[in-house]
Amino acid sequence: MAEVRLELIEKIEGEAQVRYVYEKEQVDFAEILFLTGRGIEKILEGRDPWDALTITPRVCGICGHAHLIATVRALEECYADLKLSRKARTVRELTLAFELLQNHFKWFYLTILPLLDLEAPMRRVLEPSRILGEMIALLAGQYPHNSYAIPGGITGEITPVDLLGVRQRHRHLQKLFRRGVIDVDLELFVHCDRIEEMLKRAGDLPQAMQRILDRGWERLGRSHDRFIVFGQNDLFAAGKSIGTRLQKHLDLRYLRESAIEGSRARRVLYRGKSYETGPLARAMLLKTPLIREAHRRYGDSLFSRILARVCEIPRLLRYTEALIARIDLSEPAWIDPGPFPENAEGTGIVEAARGSLIHRLRVKEGKIASYRIVTPTQWNLGNGSRENPGIAQSALIGLHREDPAELVFKSFDVCSVCTTK
């Protein structure tokens, strides 16, 4: 006889429910339900397009900056001939990358470690989070919820004194990473392809990964082995991959959203199929050596997913260092784009901490006629059918009663508030 159990999953930037159907001792089917919705897309309709710069960061308290950057990109696409200085572009990339870093630290320490019964001192998460907030604020005014990225650049001017503050904190952050997460040379670690090499080091990451191996969980949480990345910049490559077969070209016209019964979230598919988005997908597209190795051994499991996420930290640290060095302060921070077009359409794509984030808006007679947001969690957590389950669903199906279902679920880093925008 099938047994149905409804479980509350908390501390995922809000909550979700999972309705498990157990057949004997195994999960036969699972449905993920989000009970609330806030209606941000509707709130934006009829407003001045620039208002979106203030409103969309409030979609999410942890990745609000990614929403701001997606909005400004969508707005900028509306202008026929918009100019952006390299400086403004670089500074925006930088604050976005700082948010990714902060999210990665928070997720690893606040979400993952407790589920592995590991404890680290609170300052291991508080310190980097606070410092990264300061680094964003130095450039953008405050964190969370600033609106400093505007069509044509950024609202303020940056001085060498601000950059000095950013540089010093960056150095501090690198030390904290090595002291807490894993004691490695960043440059070497990015090229490392041996799991054992990683496990040998001191730090919370090797400890966590070892714990997963000790408990025999390294193959749990496998899904469809399909990955998608829409954002493209100097760090990430866009494309999709089925297993290790890559395809670079993506076309947003193949993206479809649909409602999910009993839930306030919408699912999203690409050419009729669900895909995993996020750090594991990004690492697969980039062929990051260590993650490819984890994937070769354990597939798209929670082991690979957790490792991929934390291993973005050293990449991001090196990337942001290069960005800081590249800023030419003599360039303008803002170039007047002129009046906003009366009728236009735009799309903004961003790689947020949890994966690809897409904003699309249409402007009619100077007002927002429609605004659509597709969030990473929609890709990863959208429900499918029994025949064709979604990404997280399929990771849960087949688990035994004593398996760590919550860890499998949270290895996707669910963001409930984004999903229930």
Q: String of b and e for 379-400 (b: at least 16 CB within 10 Å)?
A: bbbbbbeeeebbbbbbbbbebe
Tell me how many residues contact another protein (CB under 8 A): 66
What is the pattern of x (binds another protein, CB under 8 A) and - over residues 156-175? xx-x-----x----------
Q: Cβ distance 312 to 279 under 8 Å?
A: yes
What is the pattern of x (binds another protein, CB under 8 A) and - over residues 74-113? --------------x-----------------x---x---
Quick check: 378 binds another protein (CB under 8 A)?
A: no
Quick check: 123 binds another protein (CB under 8 A)?
A: yes
Q: List binders of another protein among 1-30 (CB under 8 A).
A: 8, 10-11, 13-15, 17
Helices (H), 148-265: 160-176, 186-191, 195-200, 204-214
Among residues 2, 126, 202, 322, the one that binds another protein under rule CB under 8 A: 126
Q: Cβ distance 105 to 129 under 8 Å?
A: yes
- Give the C-alpha separation, 369 to 114, whole Å: 44
Quick check: 47 binds another protein (CB under 8 A)?
A: yes
Of the candidate spans 76-84, 145-153, 255-263, 315-323, the one that interacts with another protein by CB under 8 A turns out to be 145-153
Among residues 163, 334, 369, 370, the one that binds another protein under rule CB under 8 A: 334
Quick check: 53 binds another protein (CB under 8 A)?
A: yes
- Give the C-alpha separation, 20 to 224, whole Å: 19
- Give the C-alpha separation, 18 to 389, whole Å: 14
Which of 383, 387, 386, 384 is closest to 419 using CA atoms? 383
As a residue count, the chain comes to 421
The minimum distance between CB 254 and another protein, in angstroms, equals: 29
Among residues 61, 289, 299, 341, the one that binds another protein under rule CB under 8 A: 61
Q: What is the DSSP string of 75-129?
A: HHHHSSS----HHHHHHHHHHHHHHHHHHHHHIIIIIIHHHTT----THHHHHHH
Interface ranges with another protein (CB under 8 A): 8, 10-11, 13-15, 17, 35-36, 38-40, 42-43, 47-48, 50-51, 53-55, 58-62, 64, 88, 106, 110, 114, 122-123, 126, 129-130, 133-134, 136-148, 150, 152-157, 159, 165, 332-336, 417
